[in-house]
Amino acid sequence: MFLESKKAHLAVITGCVFYSMNGIFISNIHDMAISPVIFYRLFFGLLFLFIYIAARGKISDLRLKKKKKSLLLQGTLVVACMLLYFTCLKITCVSIAILLQYTAPIYVMLASPFLLKEKIGKESVAALFIAIMGVFLIVRPEGGLSGIELTGTYMLGMLSGLLSGVVFAALILNVRVLKTEYPELSIVFWPMGIALLLLSPFAFEVPPAVLYSNLKVLAAFGIISIGFGEIFTVLGLANIKAQTGSVLSLIEPVSGVFFDITVLGIALSSETLAGCALIIGSALIISLKDAEKLPEKRSEGMTPGFRKELSPQVHSGIPPKDSQ
């Protein structure tokens, strides 16, 4: 019963694992700027997603309904989050970029009571604090926070990183808003399509020979990151509290560390190991607490809305509003 109740949590974690493979693919893409890489990643991911939806006979799920502005907003947020994150990455470093983007759970926890009427539990606060400490240990800048510059162009990078965290939080919150009107596959497809359209000018910046040499890696990048990663993540986020989903998303840097070690051969420090343990611990706190609430829902005659979402065929039914 516990495993059955944790499908939404498992979906978010699985999606984050797929996302965390980004470094592997980027390290194998050569002679391409980051903007065209993002475009073709979206292109192949969206193509895979459309084939998947068509094969499942779920084209009707893509029918536009109300809240079209929220769909447009989601696509715009996707592009903004990517551009802000990579701006921070270019000006500062990987550690700072990851650390600042993963401040998103703080903003989600502050905003969700007002926007989504979610209550903040003491377990959520404790899990968030533990997870943020874990992220800091994993990506701790050289010299600690005291080594961070606060002047010149570096401040632009820091500001971009902080804004990427705010935008990432808005993405998580908006998924819950869209879930009241659209099935999960539609929430994945349309924002990605909007993002692809906005980034289309970058498609022509790559010489044909360079594009051809990187085509296989770009295709795999899109299918795994956008295809599998986005499907699992949105399926999970749409069916649990925004606070819970934002904390679980911190699993991504943990799995990223794993792939860095096993695939790219990067050494593992004791601080990194401790950080991974803290984030996994925070995810367990959230999951175990939510599991305790499940019997209460069933005693009221309610069933978890996500139980059907990861069955052999993906259904588009909208779960109960307080499904977590």
Mean pLDDT, the chain cut into blocks of 10 residues (324 residues total): 57 79 78 86 91 86 85 90 80 70 78 77 76 72 53 75 88 85 85 90 89 92 85 77 72 67 64 74 65 48 42 44 43
Contact criterion met (CB below 8 Å) for 165 and 101: yes
Angle between helices 104-115 and 122-139 (to 10 degrees): 160
Residue-level pLDDT at 228: 86
Residue-level pLDDT at 40: 92
Residue from 72, 75, 25 nearest 195 by CA: 75
Residue from 87, 243, 264 nearest 175 by CA: 243
Residue-level pLDDT at 90: 73
Residue-level pLDDT at 47: 92
Residue-level pLDDT at 277: 77
Residue-level pLDDT at 143: 53
What does the block give as tokens for 184?
């999960």
Q: What is the domain partition of the chain in residue ranges?
A: 1-54+66-293
What does the block give as tokens for 91?
């000006």
Give the Cα separation of 157 and 92 in Å (integer). 6
Identify residue 293 by its one-letter amino acid code.
K
Residue-level pLDDT at 9: 77
Residue from 27, 22, 36 nearest 207 by CA: 36
Contact criterion met (CB below 8 Å) for 190 and 72: no
Q: What is the separation, in whole angstroms, between the first and last Cα of the chain?
A: 15
Local structure of 121: helix, strand or coil: coil
Residue-level pLDDT at 88: 80
Residue-level pLDDT at 131: 75
